[in-house]
Structure 1
């Protein structure tokens, strides 16, 4: 739920941050993916620039109407003033034809000329050809493996801009009249996340995740109907392009307001009120995302038509392709609209999503950096959790590298790192709270021990269980850390400030 202070931050955003600033904010939280971050920053900047342009044009038209109304009002006042002055002179016995105009009416006429000039300037501005231009929507499609950062990119951007965002899983959507969520549910979720503010909702972001699951089925059972595939794609067309969506939604009643109503009338007010909403999706940014498993094969086949079916099927990895400069390029980054059509998306839908970018598959070095470098990295989160219970938790760089290699083999992306850390720290989370333990060091051998217990096929070296250190073992904790990680040794020297001694 968005608080009113967050709502005000967006409305008071007089200058939209340029794409470079937007990308810098993404860099703080997301490792790698340089091109997708640039594309998303430019697309979001242009989208909200379009909104500001439209609002300015509406404001200019309103100002012209207001000026014309004020001008007519002043004209009427001038006519009344002249008539009143004429009567005053007549009653004084001055019947000369050359009745002088009082100074007050002369001031009226000067003001009218100035106002007329402002009206002319405003009309000329509105009549200009640029004023009639309507900037088109620029919805975005993010393609990439699971855990590559598709959702993280969008949520981080929305958080920085203080705009509401809703994330909907397309696998739950069905055509109207069938069991499941209607496509209008995605707008309802956005409205709820906008604290039921219509204006803020119409400037929000809707993420349609798992959109690849809406692909047309290659073969259908006889008598069956694809109610969660092509039919949903057709239903989304109007939303993506810009459409007035009308629905009823139960809005919770403010408890304070309900309490005041009870004291005033003695009658309990309902906990929610059913209200009618009409939301225009013209200014809502839609971000479609999905793993698109198998799309790399379609792209690879298009780029290598000379390969026979047998040669094509013998290829083990379609994720990358070698270009003319002998550089390894992500196959998904070369996807074209025709590839998406072959995958199963309808052309009408692809036409309403003009910006398509692919996220690079994460490599071991990317996973290693994701573990510790971002502001909200998993390692920093766990260190903070243990810090709350009075325990200093540290990982050596070798341990993080082994965890990265484990996640790479699992092919679960950045999301899989948290799962592995949970497994590594399970016993620590169980044993350490309200104990005499004050320091925990996770080494490569400790990670090897967890891998060995899990029965994973990853090759490991020596292994040993995680050691716990009491307050009196601080020096031993630092010495053990220094043996495996010199950088960690420096960090601990800064943290504790004294040099450890071997007892």
Structure 2
């Protein structure tokens, strides 16, 4: 019969009798010779039958000194001569990649590089070294391949402050629009919201405190549409603005003290300064046309021999694309995303974040059932998505071209279960002229 500790920690019976024997008393098993001098009972709800409670004069007042020491000591350190296991202070790149595999389909090479970049950033934040800063990076790939989804998912899984900035809205100082300091303020606000979600004590009367700034320094700034900052002759009057924004980004990336102030309730609060050194900056864009001969013809003659993949984008291509060399040199990690293939679309449609789940939730709200589509339908949708060449966003377009009329007629008919079959998907859509 399993034994568990009695509610009263010390029983005088074990002190008076040193012989080892077990006696059954009122359904309670007793061990008379325990080194911790405690009685054992079948259930913790049983009081000690000898009256060893706090109201009894026999009560000795709780556990022994050794018991208290053992309670404070981790189990792995109880054995003599066994050192406690050492755990890395930050997650490793393989662990980050494994967690991304659960939510992001495909793009294995890109996920490995991004996981290593984030792991190196977190390791630097744990032990900062001003003389050796972690690198920043660029995500390069066509639309809809998962660039934003990957970095957003990684930051959510790792509880990192995260903010998305649109490069097309960035302007130099003195012009109406979003500036670099505005991005930092949103990053600090993201850090505060993260602290609130963790249950940390936060003084809501103070817009910014030191804990917000310290946590924001471990965060990630994601600049979407980064390729739109490239200067070119076609940019016209916008070219000087783009070059100025690129130089302003240098101040953010290379590490500077920038002022962040929050205005709330119509009152100006004191400004604070945040050191941007160590904040992970990641740009993202499609960089359309960067693989054209006009761009790659400027490469050195022997550069192709040093590349694993001749189609790989290098820093020289980005400079020819319209970026200043100083900015590209500070974003040396170039992570390329490949176009999605047919099997990738099939996995997305079967996954947790499939756009089909949106239709299933809609039907469930009206007591209808949208059955899981058969595999043949998923293959047809994936083939059309490849031809559409819009990435994962193209799946929503394909579904909304077909399903609204189908679901509308299904709701009107009063049926309870809708089946999306290959025959229905191949059925020609009714044109608008047909009403």
Say whether residues 1:389 and 2:402 are aligned partners. no
1:427 aligns with 2:424: no
The structure that is helix-richer by fraction is 1
Distance 1:433 1:342, change over 3 A: same
Counterpart in the other structure of 2:101: 27
Counterpart in the other structure of 1:36: 110
- Aligned match of 2:50: none
Which one of the candidate residues 16, 19, 25 is aligned to 2:90? 16
The question of whether the paired residues in 2 share the 8 Å contact of 1:137 and 1:241 is answered with: no
1:156, distance to aligned residue in structure 2 (A): 0.7
Provide the secondary structure at the position in 2 that maps to 1:167.
strand
Distance 1:211 1:271, change over 3 A: same
User: For the structure 1 residues 300 and 381, does the alpha-carbon distance in structure 2 shift closer, same or farther, using more than 3 Å as the test?
Assistant: same
Deviation of the 1:277 alpha carbon: 2.7
Pairwise mapping of residues 213-224 of structure 1 onto structure 2 (< 5 A)? 213-219=228-234, 221=236, 224=237
Alpha-carbon distance change, 180 to 429 in structure 1, aligned in 2, over 3 angstroms: farther
Q: 1:239 aligns with which of 252, 258, 261?
A: 252
Pairing of 1:12-411 with structure 2 (within 5 A): 15-54=89-128, 134-195=131-192, 197-219=212-234, 221=236, 224=237, 226-251=239-264, 270=265, 274-298=269-293, 301-302=296-297, 331=311, 334-373=312-351, 375-393=352-370, 394-411=372-389
2:162/2:221 contact within 8 Å kept? yes
Using the TM superposition, give the Cα deviation of residue 230 of structure 1 relative to its aligned residue in structure 2, in angstroms. 1.5
Q: Which moved more, 1:381-390 or 1:398-407?
A: 381-390
Q: Secondary structure at the match of 2:155?
A: helix
Q: Tell me if the contact between 1:140 and 1:356 (Cα under 8 Å) persists in the aligned partners.
A: yes
SS in 2 for 1:16: coil
- Counterpart CA distance in 2 for 1:347 and 1:419 is 39
Aligned CA distance change for structure 1 residues 52 and 366 (closer, same or farther; 3 Å): same
Deviation at 1:176, TM superposition (A): 1.3
Q: Note if 1:416 corresponds to 2:431.
A: no
Distance 2:221 2:270 in 1: 22
**SS across alignment from 2:323:** coil
Note closer, same or farther for the CA distance 1:323–1:404 as it changes in structure 2 (3 Å cut).
Answer: farther
SS in 2 for 1:194: helix
Listed one character per residue, the Cα deviations across residues 406-438 of structure 1 (whole Å, up to 9, x for unaligned) are: 222222101221232233332355456698332
Cα offset, 1:301, TM superposition: 4.2
Deviation of 1:275 (Å): 4.7
SS at match of 1:226: helix
Deviation at 1:284, TM superposition (A): 1.3
Unaligned runs of 5+ in 1: 1-12, 55-131, 252-269, 307-321, 456-503
Taking the aligned partners of 1:379 and 1:405, their CA distance within structure 2 comes to 16
User: What secondary structure, in the 3-state scheme, does the structure 2 residue paired with 1:287 have?
Assistant: strand
Q: What TM-score comes out, normalization by structure 2 length?
A: 0.67
**Is the 2:299–2:317 Cα contact (8 Å) retained in structure 1?**
no
The answer to whether the Cα contact below 8 Å between 1:245 and 1:278 also exists between their aligned partners in 2 is yes
In 1: Cα distance, 2:159 partner to 2:235 partner: 44
User: CA 1:199–1:227 in structure 2 vs 1: closer, same or farther (change >3 Å)?
Assistant: same
1:452 is displaced (CA, Å) by 6.6
1:203–1:285 contact (8 Å) kept in structure 2: yes
Q: Give the direction of change, closer, same or farther, for the CA distance of 1:35–1:438 in structure 2 (3 Å limit).
A: same
CA distance change for structure 1 residues 454 and 237 in 2, over 3 Å: closer, same or farther?
farther
Distance 2:158 2:223 in 1: 19
Offset of residue 279 of structure 1: 1.8
**CA distance in structure 2 between the aligned counterparts of 1:133 and 1:175, rounded to whole angstroms:** 28
Measured at CA, do residues 376 and 271 of structure 1 come closer, stay the same or move farther in structure 2, by a change above 3 Å? farther
Two-structure CA RMSD over aligned residues (Å): 3.2
1:22 match: secondary structure: helix
Identify the residue that residue 461 of structure 1 maps to in structure 2: none
Q: What is the distance in 2 between the residues matched to 1:418 and 1:178?
A: 37
- Residue by residue over 1:23-44, the C-alpha shift from the partner in whole angstroms, topping out at 9 and shown as x without a partner, is 0111111111111100000110
